Amino acid sequence: MFSGLLEELVQNLKKLPGIGTKSAERLAMFIVNMEKEKAHELADSIKETVDSYTNCIVCNVLSENEICEFCGALNRDEHLLCVVENTQDVYLIEKMHEFNGKYFVLGNLLSPIDGIGPQQIYFSKLKELVKSAKIKEIILALNPSAEGESTINFIASQLENVEITRLSVGLPFGGDIEYTSSMTLSSAFKRRFSVTE
């Protein structure tokens, strides 16, 4: 249907999560029909944000600074570490206002079929952090999927001398933390249980 630069825009918009061909075409038409100044503001905002954000050197959370706000906070429990797949999960957990420890972002979940092994999930960095920060408890807040289970089992089998817990009640197998309500997520946090028992 579309061609040239418009088709290129459609293809780029389709790379966004949850955007299929029809949605991408609608968005592309909306963008090119916008006032040029507003469209340029949108483009500039995307470019500036992408250029400004990088991964925290300690925990991998996307941040505008070398050290993220969570690693830099002095009032957080340094011995409690919540391990998540991505930065979005961090902010979902923060909305509960019940967790006051530190975070670590894996970036991916183990998925051998997709070529994602321990090196692609920053496991060695996690292991170093657990040792150097004298972590007492690791909370594995990962999606209850086949990939999430594999990652939980791998991490639990590789780390010693630290309590490892995982989220419990309310997170269905195969679900996504991203689509979980704050109340359900809060309940899962309160009812976490040991991975090694």
| Sequence-ordered strand ranges (E) for the chain | 54-55, 62-63, 77-84, 101-105, 137-140, 163-166, 193-194
Domain count of the fold of the chain: 2
167 contacts 122 by C-beta, under 8 angstroms: no
In a domain, 62, yes or no: no
Q: In the numeric block, which tokens belong to residue 128?
A: 């170093």
Is 112 in the same domain as 159? yes
pLDDT digits (tens, 9 = 90+) for 135-190: 999 999 998 788 988 999 999 999 988 999 988 755 666 667 777 777 677 767 77
- What is the CATH classification number for the domain harbouring 13? 1.10.8.420
Is 46 in the same domain as 123? no
To the question of pTM greater than 0.75 for the whole model, the response is yes
Q: Can you give the residue range of the structural domain that contains 74? A: 67-194
Is 177 in the same domain as 95? yes
pLDDT digits (tens, 9 = 90+) for 25-66: 999 999 999 999 999 999 999 999 999 999 999 999 999 999
In a domain, 137, yes or no: yes
In a domain, 177, yes or no: yes
Main-chain phi, psi angles of 35, to 5 degrees = -60, 135
Is 34 in the same domain as 130? no
In a domain, 60, yes or no: no
